[in-house]
Amino acid sequence: MRIFIALDIDEAIRHRIARFMDGVRGFAPDARWVRPESLHITLKFIGETAPENVDQIKEALKAVESNAIAMNIRGHRGGTIVGCTGVDRG
């Protein structure tokens, strides 16, 4: 199982990115486009993990604490595998 640590995004931002994707979809008709509800900000890609280890990772993440930070989502760039929207600390 491939797993990663990610942040969910605000619905208004999700909607703006989905509108952008709709506008460029025709330029890459063979691409596999992600559904808007699956959009997120990946913090760390962990990779292949045995399913029996997932609960242990989830428990470890419960101990992580941080102050909230403001973020600005800006621009975009597309790769052959992953589309990316830049994130700056606000």
Residue pair 72/59 in contact (Cβ under 8 Å)? The answer is no
Q: Say if pTM beats, i.e. exceeds, 0.85.
A: no
pLDDT digit string, tens, across residues 19-67: 988 988 898 888 888 899 998 888 899 999 999 999 999 999 999 888 8
Q: Can you tell me the distance from the alpha carbon of 59 to that of 61, in angstroms, rounded to the nearest whole number? A: 5
pLDDT of res. 29: 86
Domain hosting residue 54, numbered range:
2-89
Chain-centroid distance of CA 66 in Å reads: 19
- Domain tally for the chain? 1
Angle at 11 (CA atoms; ends 85, 40), nearest 5 degrees: 40
How many CB atoms within 10 Å of residue 12?
8
